[in-house]
Structure 1
Amino acid sequence: MSMVNAFSREDFERLDENERALIARREKVLGPAYRLFYEKPLHLVRGEGVFLYDTAGEKYLDAYNNVASLGHCHPRVVEAITKQTAVLNTHTRYLHEGIVDYAETLTATFPEALSQAMFTCTGSEANDLAVRIARFVTGGTGIIATELAYHGLTSATAEFSPSLGESVTLGPHVRTIPAPDAYRNSPEEVMEKFGRDVRAAIADLKRHGIKPAMLITDTIFSSDGIFAGPKGFLKPAVDAIHEADGLFIADEVQPGFGRTGETMWGFERHGVSPDMVTLGKPMGNGYPMASIVLRPEIIAEFGPRARYFNTFGGNPVAAAAGKAVLDTIRIEGLQQNALEVGGYLRDGLSSLSHQAIGDVRGSGLFIGVEIVADRTTKQPDAALTTRIVNGLRDRRILISASGPNANILKIRPPLVFSRENADVLVGALDDVLKSA
């Protein structure tokens, strides 16, 4: 399976001489594993707020980048990083008040039971550490994830990240289950089916002599196609893994930090209690940092016996960046903005009358638009989806696509996105669909 919305060699000859030369240099020195977005790749040189700028000074509305979740180069984060870099940057084996202050501020945003944090540099590392802990605590090795999940790039996490493609082999201890598709199933079916599928996966692991260790889900199912509801459908699945003496890991790398609007963390929308929560990308608004937040009893035995250290994870500069992110979300009311502007944007997208729009779904500023060839059969239309994504790029608006059939527009703008920005996006999508 190729990456959705990727530049291909077929597009190479359409580019100008300078672009072809830069791509050739890039391929020579970076090798063949890297990918570029869009049929006509972007050459970006600057970012500010919700906008990115290319070499010609053209401005692009960024409706996709959740790494800079507060907007590109947010001055509060830039100042915090710069100030701390000029003073000290070491690691967590020295006492540092800023690291402890940040951990206290971070854990205070979670339910009381989730009160301890362990820091890494990437979400992949966070999920890798979660696997180590889960296996230590449960004595099991079995992992349950969804069919198109993405949880990381380390050897351990790639084994339960099917979205990496068929060439990346899933582990023999991994079982995948369908994502909870509320577009093709009724809310009642979704509530019942997801829990039933987890129980079937647990039974299959046990039948093969594999003890379950964990169920892990991205709580808005970003790579699977963006499924936010009905609220509560995670609970039967979480109950099932707990009954099997396994742990539930909520992967909040994409839906966390207020993005879903209703709650700070995606799992809270479902009324469930994770054993561990993994964080990443938006945590430092571009500064590389990630974390696990977990129940103290989960780490009580692992910590003294296995220890943990990460040279750069949770360093003073990272702590300063992370604290600035949390302060900004609070001071600027960005969770509420995600709720209000996200609702406004979904309403605008839903108002478009094009037959190709089969479903508009999501929560806050995380929205999926399912593109179909036929609303009655709900047949996916990947080709049209590709034209839409690239048509918006030509109109200087950036989104991407996801889902098992590559037919779901993935809209995930910075939390500072405004109603005016939403109007521009909706109007451009309307124009693209009229000309598609």
Structure 2
Amino acid sequence: MADVLTRRARLLGPHMTTFYREPVHLARGEGTYLWDTDGRKYLDCYNNVPHVGHCHPRVVEAIATQAATLNTHTRYVHDGILEYGEALTAKFDHDLDSMVMVCSGSEANDVALRMAQAMTGKTGVITTDNTYHGNTAAVSQLNTSKVPIGGFQDHVKRAPAPDNMMPPGGTREGQAKAFAEGVKTAIAELEANGHGVSALIVCPYFANEGFPTLEEGFLDDAIALVRAAGGIIIADEVQPGFGRIGSHWWGHQKLNFAPDIVTLGKPMANGHPVAAVITRPEILTAFQEGFKYFNTFGGNPVSAAAAMAVLNVIEDENLVENAKDVGAYAVGLLKELQTRYDVIADVRGSGLFFGAELWRDGKPATALCDAMVEEMRNRGVLLHTEGRFDNTLKIRPPCAFGRADADLLAETLDAAFGAVA
């Protein structure tokens, strides 16, 4: 392992991140499990990229068959992207029936911001104060974890993110109003500095903010303010999309609002690099007229085949229903643990995106949360942290996760809390 890490640092850079103090050297995966190069087996409770399970045979076959037949770019006409696009957009309401296929969520959000500029003629963007939307130069301005070189630009303004334990406005019931007030302030600042409002961009599950428990209609007042200012709404569905939350296919459906643009990524093709921007025809047309854009690999025949296979597996294996059932079961198991460990301050989630927030002595228990992640890794279960203080255990497994997997997760959590809490 030491030699591998030395080579990795030399080739990929000394700050190329790894999970865990002792990184996991993976060799293969199947379903909800991973194996390292020593043959040790891990329950994967974190990776949402293999949405239908690691190395699903139908996805593997689709990729191999199409790769053996044809692969090129979308300046040539090919049926695969059209068949997939029609199947995918059929999952959306609100006239969202046009799309651009790209290779990553970062690209998708970058394109979405340009769509908003083209549609509105404005450049100001509003997001939350604890978010992440990708790695391009444009979307890195939205993120809060690291200040870009030269500092944050003044075309981006932030509203206070919702939070279960420390809600803006002082109460969970009042944080929708507090968020709307933050958006109102941001609008005024953007109009005063000449940028105006092109878009509000949010993950409708507020995943990186710590996936707080929010009721339908949470964003209604904020959205009304943005629309009144001439802006449009972008829903970043990279994490909650494709039925992960169990109750709905998309996070914006759970909060019951109508986005103008939806961005997709990670789970779209089970690990093959596929992402997309879904929007209305008039917005796509404005973008194409306002920007010269082409993506060599976006929507290629192999990518379209992989993505179509994922869509079909989700339907055929009832994975949305599975996410709802197993997610509720797993949350129930975590709530049982909460009765035994007072450091578990809050258990929450929807479908197969859930977790537990840890506090100790009236403060976020960041160090304990990190220790739990390491202890779970050492016991053969992979998960990670989330939230403003990284004090929430983030559990986001492949959607093939079953009740037996949830039992193993809960048993291992129990043992890990007993060891480190």
Give the Cα–Cα distance (whole angstroms) in 1 for the partners of residues 39 and 257 of structure 2: 46
Question: 1:242-261 alignment to 2 at 5 Å?
Answer: 242-261=227-246
Give the Cα–Cα distance (whole angstroms) in 1 for the partners of residues 153 and 112 of structure 2: 16
Total equivalences in the alignment? 414
Pair 1:316 & 2:316 matched? no
Residue number in structure 2 paired with 1:157: 139
Residue number in structure 2 paired with 1:359: 346
Residue number in structure 2 paired with 1:166: 147
Pair 1:93 & 2:93 matched? no
Give the Cα–Cα distance (whole angstroms) in 2 for the partners of residues 293 and 61 of structure 1: 33
Pair 1:266 & 2:251 matched? yes
Residue number in structure 2 paired with 1:236: 221
Pair 1:61 & 2:43 matched? yes
Question: 1:136-215 alignment to 2 at 5 Å?
Answer: 136-163=118-145, 165-166=146-147, 169-185=151-167, 186-215=171-200
Q: How far is the alpha carbon of 1:34 from its aligned partner?
A: 0.9
Residue number in structure 2 paired with 1:121: 103
Q: Is the 8 A contact 2:158 2:182 kept in 1?
A: no
Q: How far is the alpha carbon of 1:112 from its aligned partner?
A: 4.4
Q: Is the 8 A contact 1:187 1:230 kept in 2?
A: no
Q: How far is the alpha carbon of 1:307 from its aligned partner?
A: 4.4
Q: Is the 8 A contact 1:44 1:55 kept in 2?
A: yes
Aligned identity (percent) is 47
Compute the RMSD of aligned alpha carbons.
Answer: 1.3
User: 1:61-111 CA deviation, whole Å, 9 max, x = no partner?
Assistant: 000000111110001100100000000001111111111000000000011
Give the Cα–Cα distance (whole angstroms) in 1 for the partners of residues 250 and 314 of structure 2: 13
Give the Cα–Cα distance (whole angstroms) in 1 for the partners of residues 235 and 330 of structure 2: 26
Q: How far is the alpha carbon of 1:127 from its aligned partner?
A: 0.6
Kindly tell me: are residues 342 and 385 of structure 1, through their superposed partners in 2, closer, same or farther at Cα, counting changes over 3 Å? same
Which of 374, 394, 401 aligns to 2:385? It is 401
Aligned-partner residue type, residue 359 of structure 1: D
Q: Is the 8 A contact 2:26 2:37 kept in 1?
A: yes
Residue number in structure 2 paired with 1:372: 359
Residue number in structure 2 paired with 1:6: none
Pair 1:383 & 2:367 matched? yes
Q: Is the 8 A contact 2:114 2:287 kept in 1?
A: no
Q: Is the 8 A contact 1:261 1:365 kept in 2?
A: yes
Q: How far is the alpha carbon of 1:207 from its aligned partner?
A: 2.4
Q: How far is the alpha carbon of 1:364 from its aligned partner?
A: 0.6
Q: How far is the alpha carbon of 1:167 from its aligned partner?
A: 5.3
Give the Cα–Cα distance (whole angstroms) in 1 for the partners of residues 71 and 303 of structure 2: 9
Residue number in structure 2 paired with 1:21: 3
Q: How far is the alpha carbon of 1:428 from its aligned partner?
A: 0.8
Aligned-partner residue type, residue 101 of structure 1: E
User: Is the deviation greater in 189-198 or in 409-418?
Assistant: 189-198
Which of 278, 300, 306 aligns to 1:293? It is 278
Partner secondary structure for residue 360 of structure 2: strand
Q: Is the 8 A contact 1:249 1:278 kept in 2?
A: yes
Residue number in structure 1 paired with 2:418: 434
Aligned-partner residue type, residue 342 of structure 1: G
User: 1:387-416 CA deviation, whole Å, 9 max, x = no partner?
Assistant: 100000000100000111110111000000
Give the Cα–Cα distance (whole angstroms) in 1 for the partners of residues 221 and 176 of structure 2: 8
Q: How far is the alpha carbon of 1:308 from its aligned partner?
A: 3.0
Q: Is the 8 A contact 2:99 2:284 kept in 1?
A: no
User: Is the deviation greater in 91-100 or in 225-234?
Assistant: 225-234
Pair 1:410 & 2:390 matched? no
Partner secondary structure for residue 300 of structure 1: helix
Give the Cα–Cα distance (whole angstroms) in 2 for the partners of residues 154 and 305 of structure 1: 20
Give the TM-score, by structure 2 length. Answer: 0.96
User: Is the deviation greater in 48-57 or in 203-212?
Assistant: 203-212
User: 1:295-346 CA deviation, whole Å, 9 max, x = no partner?
Assistant: 1121233324534321100011111011101100000000010011001111
Partner secondary structure for residue 114 of structure 2: helix
Structure 1 gap ranges (5+): 1-18
Aligned-partner residue type, residue 397 of structure 1: V
Aligned-partner residue type, residue 59 of structure 1: K
Aligned-partner residue type, residue 344 of structure 2: I
Aligned-partner residue type, residue 6 of structure 2: A
Q: Is the 8 A contact 1:337 1:415 kept in 2?
A: yes
Partner secondary structure for residue 342 of structure 1: helix
Partner secondary structure for residue 188 of structure 1: coil
Q: How far is the alpha carbon of 1:232 from its aligned partner?
A: 2.0
Partner secondary structure for residue 162 of structure 1: coil
Give the Cα–Cα distance (whole angstroms) in 1 for the partners of residues 330 and 219 of structure 2: 26
User: 1:188-242 CA deviation, whole Å, 9 max, x = no partner?
Assistant: 2122222221111111222222211111011111211112412321222222211
Give the Cα–Cα distance (whole angstroms) in 2 for the partners of residues 224 and 307 of structure 1: 34
Aligned-partner residue type, residue 212 of structure 1: V
Q: Is the 8 A contact 2:26 2:35 kept in 1?
A: yes
User: 1:153-174 CA deviation, whole Å, 9 max, x = no partner?
Assistant: 11111111113x2355332211
User: Is the deviation greater in 24-33 or in 329-338?
Assistant: 24-33
